[in-house]
């Protein structure tokens, strides 16, 4: 005689799974809130003259922004609410905070009206860059225009490398040009590499070695390392565009030369 089979009780498992699912969806937003906090803290630090601290806060915000996107993709917990919250946080951390930092730290030696225009141009171009990103496809292999975290990170890297405020007109004018350049790169159609789908691949040991070396450089030589990294990424887009144009022109010139030889 078979023993009677009783239906399994719900117990605590569904309850735990339900709360676990909620936790997975909330986790990326927690990192986004941390990103927003760092941006707000950077503004306060700038107002109190702690420019190096403000630059580091923007750097931490970049890390949190990368982590929250990674977690959302790995856990398949991306939501419309999370996307909007992330964009609003990015406006503060990488649009407002870097522009205020650049204005107070590096543009005091130029005409204040031109300085305000440059700072506001950076902010509005960053906001427009985010708006364009939100309406584009989600799984892009490249960014169209300089991403706003990279723009804000470039300003933070410059301030981190030169901790003392700029007092001479030459340095202030160079910073003014840099702010305008970063602003217009953000709203440009120049393509920048996206590292969303970056994996270790077959040569994972080399990748891990390079990452370890990079971490060591950031820890012990953070100022030159972060400045070179930021500058390299900023110029990578225009250099890739120029290389693509030259590469397309070369086959056309060869075809034209071959046609002229055939006619003769």
Distance between first and last Cα of the chain: 101
Q: Which residues pair with 191 in a beta bridge?
A: 144
Lowest mean pLDDT among 6-20, 80-94, 200-214: 6-20
Q: How many residues does the chain have?
A: 264
Q: Check pLDDT > 50 for residue 15.
A: no
pLDDT bracket for residue 212 (50, 70, 90): confident
Average pLDDT, the chain: 85
pLDDT bracket for residue 202 (50, 70, 90): low
Burial label, 71 (beta-carbon count in 10 A; 0-12, 13-18, 19+) = middle
pLDDT bracket for residue 210 (50, 70, 90): confident
Do 173 and 118 contact (CB within 8 A), yes or no?
no
Q: Which two tokens stand for residue 34?
A: 């941390």
pLDDT of residue 12: 47
Mean pLDDT, range 216-232, rounded to an integer: 93
pLDDT bracket for residue 45 (50, 70, 90): very high
Name all contacts of 116-122 with Cβ < 8 Å and 24+ positions apart.
118/176, 118/179, 118/180, 118/183, 119/179, 121/179, 121/180, 121/183, 122/95, 122/98, 122/151, 122/155, 122/179, 122/180, 122/182, 122/183
- Summarised one tens digit per residue, pLDDT across range 241-257 is 999 888 887 666 555 55
Q: Check pLDDT > 90 for residue 88.
A: yes
Percent of the chain at pLDDT above 90? Answer: 58
- Summarised one tens digit per residue, pLDDT across range 134-182 is 887 555 678 999 999 999 999 999 999 998 999 999 999 999 999 999 9
The distance of Cα 125 from the centroid of its chain, to the nearest Å, equals 14
Rounded Cα–Cα distance for residues 86 and 70 (Å): 13
Q: Cα–Cα distances in Å, from 70 out to 59, 63, 113, 194, 235?
A: 17, 11, 40, 13, 25
Do 35 and 61 contact (CB within 8 A), yes or no?
yes
Rounded Cα–Cα distance for residues 165 and 107 (Å): 9
pLDDT of residue 213: 87
CATH of domain 24-263: 1.20.120.1760
Q: What pTM, to 2 d.p., does this model score? A: 0.82
195 vs 212 pLDDT, higher one: 212
Q: Check pLDDT > 90 for residue 99.
A: yes
57 vs 218 pLDDT, higher one: 57
pLDDT of residue 128: 96
Each domain of the chain, given as residue ranges in start order, spans 24-263
């Amino acid at each position: 005689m078979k023993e009677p089979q009783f239906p399994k009780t719900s117990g605590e498992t569904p309850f735990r799974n339900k709360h676990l699912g909620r936790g997975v969806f909330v986790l990326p937003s927690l990192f986004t809130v941390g990103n927003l906090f760092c941006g707000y803290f950077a503004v306060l630090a700038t107002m109190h003259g702690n420019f190096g601290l403000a630059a580091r806060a923007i750097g931490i915000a970049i890390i949190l922004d990368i982590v929250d996107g990674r977690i959302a993709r790995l856990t398949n917990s991306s939501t419309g609410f999370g996307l909007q919250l992330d964009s609003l946080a990015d406006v503060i951390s990488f649009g407002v905070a870097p522009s205020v930092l650049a204005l107070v730290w590096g543009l005091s030696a130029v005409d204040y009206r031109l300085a305000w225009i440059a700072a506001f141009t950076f902010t509005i171009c960053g906001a427009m860059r985010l708006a364009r990103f939100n309406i584009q496809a989600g799984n892009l292999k490249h960014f169209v225009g300089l991403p706003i975290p990279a723009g804000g990170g470039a300003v933070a890297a410059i301030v981190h490398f030169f901790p003392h405020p700029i007092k001479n007109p030459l340095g202030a004018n160079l910073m003014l040009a840099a702010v305008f350049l970063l602003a217009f790169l953000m709203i440009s159609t120049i393509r920048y590499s996206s590292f969303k789908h970056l994996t270790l691949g077959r040569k994972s040991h080399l990748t891990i070695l390079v990452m370890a070396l990079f971490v060591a450089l950031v820890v012990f030589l953070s100022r030159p390392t972060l400045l070179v990294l930021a500058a390299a990424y900023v110029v990578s887009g225009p250099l890739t565009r120029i290389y693509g144009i030259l590469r397309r022109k070369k086959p056309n010139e060869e075809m034209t030369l071959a046609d002229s030889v055939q006619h003769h």
